[in-house]
Amino acid sequence: MQDEIDSPQHHVDSAGTYVAVLVTLLFLTILTTAVAYVDLGYFSTVIALGIACTKMLLVALFFMHIRHSTKLTKLVVVGGLLWLAILLLLTLTDFATRTWIGVPGR
Amino acid sequence: MGNIQLFPVQGSTLAPEVDHLLYFFLAVSAFFTLLIFCAIFFLAIRYRRRAANELPEAGHTGYTLEILWSVIPFGITMVMFTWGASVFFKAARPPADAIPIYVVGKQWMWKLEHMEGRREINELHIPVGKPVRLTMTSEDVIHSFFVPAFRTKQDVVPGRYSTVWFQATKPGKYHLFCAEYCGTRHSGMIGWIYAMEPQDYENWLSGGAAQGSLAENGKKLFQDLACSNCHKEDNTGRCPALPGVFGSTVHLTGGATVKADEAYIRESILNPQAKIVAGYEPVMPTFQGLVTEDQVLQLIEYVRSIGAKPAPGSAPNSPASAEKPATPGAAPAKR
Amino acid sequence: MQLTAEREHYLNASYGLKSWLLTKDHKRIGLLYLFTITLFFFIGGAFATLIRLELLTPQGDLVSDDVYNRLFTMHAIAMIFFFMIPSIPAVLGNFFLPIMIGARDLAFPRINLLSWYLLVAGGAFALFAMIAGGVDTGWTFYTPYSTTYANGWVIATALGIFIAGFSSILTGLNFIVTVHRMRAPGMTWFRMPLFVWANYATSLIQILGTPVLAVTIVLLFVERVFHLGIFDPARGGDPVLFQHLFWFYSHPAVYIMVLPGMGVISEVISTFSRKPVFGYAFVAFSSVAIAVLGFLVWGHHLFVSTQSAFAGLVFSFLSYFVAIPSAIKVFNWTATLYKGSISFETPMLYAFGFIGLFTIGGLTGLFLAALGIDIHVTDTYFVVAHFHYVMVGGTIMAFLAGMHFWWPKITGRMYPEGWAKLSALIVFVGFNLTFFPQFILGYMGMPRRYHAYPPEFQVLNVLSTAGASVLAIGYLMPMVYFTWSLKYGKVAGANPWGATGLEWKTASPPPVHNFDETPIVTHDAYDYSTVHGEEIQVG
Amino acid sequence: MADHSHTETLDLRVQFDTAEQQKDCSTLGMWIFLITEVMFFGGMFAAYTIYRQFYPEVFAIASTSLNAKIGAFNTCVLLLSSFTMVMAVRAGQLGKQKAIVGWLILTLIFGGAFLGVKGIEWHEKFVEHHIPGQAEFHLEGLPQSEQGHAQIFFSLYFSMTGLHALHMVVGAGMLIWLLLEARKGTFSAKYYTPIDVGGLYWHFVDIIWIFLFPLLYLIDRHLKV
Ligand code: HEA
Ligand code: HEA
Ligand code: CUA
Ligand SMILES: [Cu+2]
């Protein structure tokens, strides 16, 4: 017995789709590079990472066929990102709060 | 060896608190351990297999029991957490009037310096009944300052300062251990704490003050290292005057502020460019490699001694009290 | 189910060294693992023996301080990375997980074999390091000691652990895919034996945690070899960051070590009470809950490390959440006994031992998770006692329970019951004598990793050493009688315990592809009405 | 269910019942492996985040010493290789043998170009003495006391790009193997799982770079143009 296999990957995307995705990706690369020279303060980082996330989504959804994959695969991806978030956020609970009680080393 | 001792002496104000917490944990643990042991014992005997082919009814699982034995332990653990945290916070925050002592750990010895200038190695004399606050750093690897009788310990990390404090309650001689593994002679990095009546302590202090007080040594260094060439008392020239700096809130170029604590002064000496005082040029050279950790501590003590200085332990703006959570979120002294 | 000697099974299907070294059969690979980890257990045990002998007297008289530091480091590395982490999953899990869900093999048999070779390769590096002079960093490799000051074979050992880590990752990956995709018809998630649930949860930790250890080792490596300065305090790096990354893996790793053991205990308790495990679904979910929550608590190893007090608070708080699923398991096992039909074969004795000792070990974990107590007892023998209670008193007991439980299935022979019971008793007594005194030592303030100690700690240390020698005997006995039983043991039937799992529905030892016919599952796990009346004839 | 005495074929190994099940297992297995890779790089991302927060100005200046234009160019090369890879997978799905080989070769070429450019960039660092741990290390525009922090930036730079490059090399090895198999005619519309799974890996390595590029080259660049 297996979990639902809603027959993945029998779906063949057209070459045009891939070309469109590629062009978008290249455009975003140039965009993020250009924007980096503009001082948007705090937003510079947000935009750089936002564009990177968009590019990641494009690659994952189209090139890696997440669009057509099983629920389990999607769950695996989301789970992985969640764990990355745990690693980053809980590590930061230390490094971001080091001075809160104002005693060195506490 | 004849007399077996099974419990450590209570030597500090913290010790009874930690011990009470321990008693609570022991009681809870004893209860659950006995509960489980007895239950297994009696059930196993009561329901032992009597016939080879016996087949017991498969019972039903009720949610009530499951909820019961999730919620009750959870409640207990929350008490454990809260109580444990409250003891910890007492151990984490030194009182304002604590006597400062400086500690440098290195493979494999403890170097301790009193404000008044007495230096000790692997021994620390402290007065009974007065809080003592240690500011600690390491010259090489991580060590840990551990006094079982005081029920407290704190790692000593290179490149950073850490703090531990205690108030001895009984005169006596207590073990000082290094509790973080630090290499070959880790088990030899031990010493003694001598808790003395305040009067004896004063005598002891004055007994060997020949080396000059910490601040005096710092002052001398301040001259020798030519700090005084730039930092003039009268605030002339390109440098900020240092009197009154310690414990104050310093405004930096870029708009941030920082509280001038040990870590900040240390950084100003070793890494002056990290935080530039507003209105000044970043011309101060680094003294990284020119001064040892001990000397940094002496300089800090000197800067502290010329800081705002009301009667010790009273006024709210005394240097030590200013170290309390003054400006949360102020540019952190990360290292 | 014929039992003639000529019947073909996985052991006699082919012969020769090559047929083992190139096998893709998960059962044979399980046995390959068994030999490997046994070797490392005895290596680690030999180091432990030397540690205990040294600590017999307060002076450091048996070995030098440098040697002592190498001893406890290599003791822990052998025991943790090359014995305990692969122990139950890679031996018993490998052997039984596919059978228990009615599969012919794991999803990726070649990768399974590869992961054994990786463990061997990693082990070879570690062994080389041990023979060439050892390492003295402690198994935690804290920087900057390990990057700059230690002069042992840090890199060889770290590389060995890195490679063994891949072995662990691949095993976990294999198990997860197998459980998701290879279950027999009718084997729904809630019909899976709890041992499978436990291994599934373990696999989650293996794939999510181990890579972080791997990268931590890589960063250690580049800092030591290429002088990159990621943790170097001299350049403004933070050694505490290393500790965060290390414990991000190594705390969840303690659940890699204990969860499969809990799975074994569920099987054993059920079989020898002839009752389904009480609160099956809760026990199943608690495994997953432990795996998930286990990732949120690592900072409880850093309470005095200069981690911020606020982070300490968060991690202490979260630590208590893991205790709840563990409590659920302990209570449910106990409740399973109620109105059961309980018999006292060796696996059951070990299971009782597990529950008792794990309870003590777990409860003392709660002491450590309390900030106020931990500042006193961290880095003392209290911690040493805590983790030996959960690992030696817990996991090793469970491993032995599982070995005895499934021995007839693996080899087709029974072990000698009398000897086995005796050794279980010896292990239990020896264990408590070894490690209980260490709780007291720890609270008295004896720091860990001490080669010499003040004389007032001696009495308790003598007790501990005495216990360790009893324990050693208890561990050597199964070696002897298991080997003996291979030739002289009573021939076992397909289902000597009257147990329910699919593994008992196939012959002992199982055929090459596990089942003569793919089983179709129609009952819940632990439905004893399906075996009742069959050969229930327990000695 | 199917009896298991059938002889093993590439698209149906003994342990599986159907080819569908086998393909699904391989894909799932690769995704899980990619998750372990996320966590592997995650450790370095954590270190990066913390140090960037510690020493923002130093990191800004150190970022500026990298050539963003070359970085952007290289990103484009890598994205192109991802595109050719997905085309190879598509050719596999359609069972077009020749096309598989062609697209794989293109992928290899772009991958190689990326590594080549990376090599040039690394070489520059050597020339400029931006190698942490070397006595001559010196990053222009920073006082002596901040050089240590700059070393941390470059330590991260080299570990992150180094490990990424290592993954590329492994990926290239995989491509070569796929290429050889494809030329033997192993793949067809029925059995192209290895290309599919290999593609997942290749795209993943691409995604890592998508993040490394802004993190190392771009963020806070405006602070010092
Ligand atoms: C198999 C291994 C294993 C397991 C399962 C555990 C389980 C737990 N551990 Fe342990 N631990 C280690 C192995 C393990 N540990 C190791 C190896 C170290 C030291 C590493 C080193 O430094 O070298 C360590 C160190 C360690 C520390 C750090 C100590 C220090 O260095 O200062 C802490 C602190 O919180 C801790 C806590 C816990 C907790 C809360 C649990 C919990 O999961 C326990 C949960 C179980 C129970 C609670 C018992 C069952 C429940 C009941 C009977 C019901 C009653 C319950 C309640 C009232 C709640 N452990
Ligand atoms: C799974 C893990 C595991 C296991 C099974 C064990 C098993 C044992 N451990 Fe282990 N131990 C650790 C994990 C483990 N330990 C870890 C992680 C540390 C921390 C290390 C560090 O600080 O970095 C540690 C540290 C540690 C210390 C503290 C050292 C110190 O801090 O200074 C001690 C001291 O008593 C000890 C004792 C024992 C004993 C007596 C056993 C016994 O259970 C072993 C019994 C087994 C045998 C005895 C084998 C039988 C074989 C023989 C008898 C052959 C003998 C042959 C010759 C002597 C030639 N261990
Ligand atoms: Cu210093 Cu241990
Ligand atoms: Cu832990």
The fold for domain B8-31+62-210 equals Immunoglobulin-like (2.60.40)
Q: Give dist(CA C149, CA C133) in Å, integer.
A: 16
Q: Is the CB of C38 under 6 A from ligand 2?
A: no
User: How many CB contacts within 8 angstroms connect chain A with chain C?
Assistant: 62
pLDDT of amino acid D193: 92
User: D104 versus B270: which is more confidently predicted?
Assistant: D104
D20, part of any domain = no
Q: Is the same domain home to A17 and A64? A: yes
Q: What would the two tokens of residue C78 be?
A: 């052998």
User: B131 versus B1: which is more confidently predicted?
Assistant: B131
ipTM: 0.91
pLDDT at B114 over 90: no
Q: Is the same domain home to A60 and A85? A: no
pLDDT at B136 over 80: yes
Domain hosting residue D200, numbered range? 27-218
Q: Is the same domain home to A7 and A53? A: yes
Q: Is the same domain home to A61 and A94? A: no
Q: Give dist(CA C36, CA B192) in Å, integer.
A: 47
Our mutation pick for probing the ligand 2 site, out of C50, C57, C384, counting the most ligand atoms within 8 A of Cβ, is C384
Domain hosting residue A91, numbered range? 70-106
**A64/D contact by beta carbon, under 8 A:** yes
A105 with B94: Cβ contact below 8 A: no
For D29-39, the pLDDT digits (tens) are: 999 999 999 99
Q: Is the same domain home to A16 and A50? A: yes
pLDDT of amino acid B235: 64
D4, part of any domain = no
- Cα maximum dimension of chain D: 74
Q: Is the same domain home to A57 and A106? A: no
* Residue C316 Cα to ligand 1 middle (Å): 12
A5 to each of C319, D23, D24, how far by Cα in Å? 38, 11, 8
pLDDT of amino acid C359: 97
For A88-99, the pLDDT digits (tens) are: 999 999 999 988
pLDDT at A4 over 50: no
A101 CB burial (10 A radius; 0-12, 13-18, 19+): middle
pLDDT at A8 over 50: no
| Residues 6 or more apart whose Cβ sits within 8 Å of residue A43 | none
pLDDT at B5 over 80: no
Q: What would the two tokens of residue C402 be?
A: 């599982």
Collapse the DSSP code of A11 into the 3-class scheme (helix H, G, I; strand E, B; otherwise coil) and give the result.
coil
For CATH 1.10.760.10, the residue range(s) in chain B are 214-321
pLDDT of amino acid D139: 87
pLDDT along chain C (539 residues), means of 10: 64 89 94 96 96 93 92 96 96 96 94 97 95 93 92 93 97 96 93 96 96 96 92 92 97 96 97 93 96 96 94 96 95 94 95 97 96 96 97 96 96 95 96 96 96 94 96 95 94 90 91 88 86 49
Q: Hey, of B160, B267, B283, B286, which one would you mutate to test binding to chain D, going by the most D CBs within 10 A of its CB?
A: B286
The single-letter code of the amino acid at B207 is: G
User: pTM of the full predicted structure?
Assistant: 0.89
Q: Is the same domain home to A29 and A76? A: no
D205 neighbors D168 (Cβ within 8 angstroms): yes
Q: What angle, rounded to 10 degrees, do the helices at C280-293 and C194-225 form?
A: 10
D11, part of any domain = no
D14, part of any domain = no
Bridge partners, residue B173, by sequence = B194
Write down the mean pLDDT value for chain B. 83
Collapse the DSSP code of C266 into the 3-class scheme (helix H, G, I; strand E, B; otherwise coil) and give the result.
helix
Q: Is the CB of C42 under 6 A from ligand 2?
A: yes
Write down the mean pLDDT value for chain D. 90
B163 with A106: Cβ contact below 8 A: yes
Q: Tell me the CA end-to-end span of chain D in Å, nearest whole number.
A: 68
Strand boundaries in chain B, DSSP class E: 99-106, 109-114, 119-121, 123-127, 131-138, 143-147, 152-156, 162-167, 172-178, 191-196, 249-251, 257-259
Percent of chain C with pLDDT over 90: 87
pLDDT of amino acid C532: 60
**Domain annotation for chain C: domains and CATH numbers:** 27-538 (1.20.210.10)
Least confident of B236-250, B290-304, C310-324, D203-217: B236-250
Name the residue facing A29 among D20, D39, D75 (closest C-beta). D75
pLDDT at D216 over 90: yes
Q: What would the two tokens of residue C94 be?
A: 């490998």
User: B329 versus A73: which is more confidently predicted?
Assistant: A73
Range B234-257 average pLDDT: 77
Q: What angle, rounded to 10 degrees, do the helices at C194-225 and D19-54 form?
A: 40
| Residues 6 or more apart whose Cβ sits within 8 Å of residue A15 | D87, D90
Listed residue (C516, C243, C38) closest to D4, CA to CA: C516
User: How many structural domains does chain A have?
Assistant: 2
Half-sphere exposure of D155 (CA within 13 A, CB side): 32
Name the residue facing B262 among A98, A101, A104 (closest C-beta). A104
For D83-101, the pLDDT digits (tens) are: 999 999 999 999 888 999 9
For C486-527, the pLDDT digits (tens) are: 999 999 888 999 899 999 999 889 999 898 888 888 888 898
pLDDT at B261 over 90: no
- CA of A2: which chain C residue's CA is closest? C181
User: C266 versus B334: which is more confidently predicted?
Assistant: C266
Q: Is the same domain home to A45 and A92? A: no
pLDDT at B41 over 90: yes
Listed residue (B314, B20, D47) closest to C223, CA to CA: D47
The fold for domain B214-321 equals Cytochrome Bc1 Complex; Chain D, domain 2 (1.10.760)
Listed residue (C473, C479, C507) closest to C491, CA to CA: C507
Angle at C138 between CA C133 and CA C142, to 5 degrees: 120
Q: Is the same domain home to A10 and A48? A: yes
Collapse the DSSP code of B168 into the 3-class scheme (helix H, G, I; strand E, B; otherwise coil) and give the result.
strand
User: How many structural domains does chain D have?
Assistant: 1
Q: Give dist(CA C518, CA C496) in Å, integer.
A: 22
Rg over CA atoms, chain A: 20
Q: Which residues of D touch A63 (CB under 8 A)?
A: 82-83, 85-86, 199, 203, 206
Q: Is the same domain home to A56 and A94? A: no
- CA of B332: which chain C residue's CA is closest? C308
D13, part of any domain = no
pLDDT of amino acid B225: 78
Residue D123 belongs to a domain with what CATH number?
1.20.120.80
D33, part of any domain = yes
pLDDT of amino acid B313: 36
- CA of B320: which chain A residue's CA is closest? A103
pLDDT of amino acid C421: 96
Q: Is the same domain home to A13 and A60? A: yes
pLDDT of amino acid B234: 67
Q: Hey, of D139, D145, D220, which one would you mutate to test binding to chain B, going by the most B CBs within 10 A of its CB?
A: D145
C24 CB burial (10 A radius; 0-12, 13-18, 19+): middle
Q: Which of residues 13-32 of C touch B (CB under 8 A)?
A: none
pLDDT of amino acid B27: 97
pLDDT of amino acid C280: 93
Q: How confident is the model at residue B269 (pLDDT cuts 50, 70, 90)?
A: confident
Q: Give dist(CA B65, CA B63) in Å, integer.
A: 6
D206 with A40: Cβ contact below 8 A: no
Q: Is the same domain home to A18 and A51? A: yes
Q: How confident is the model at residue B308 (pLDDT cuts 50, 70, 90)?
A: low
Collapse the DSSP code of C154 into the 3-class scheme (helix H, G, I; strand E, B; otherwise coil) and give the result.
helix
pLDDT at B311 over 50: no
Buried b (16+ CB within 10 A) or exposed e, D66-81: bebeebbbbbbbbbbb
pLDDT of amino acid C535: 46
C498 neighbors C458 (Cβ within 8 angstroms): no
C50 neighbors C67 (Cβ within 8 angstroms): no
Collapse the DSSP code of D37 into the 3-class scheme (helix H, G, I; strand E, B; otherwise coil) and give the result.
helix
Least confident of A41-50, B72-81, B308-317, C158-167: B308-317
pLDDT of amino acid C99: 95
Collapse the DSSP code of C328 into the 3-class scheme (helix H, G, I; strand E, B; otherwise coil) and give the result.
helix
Q: Give dist(CA A52, CA A25) in Å, integer.
A: 10
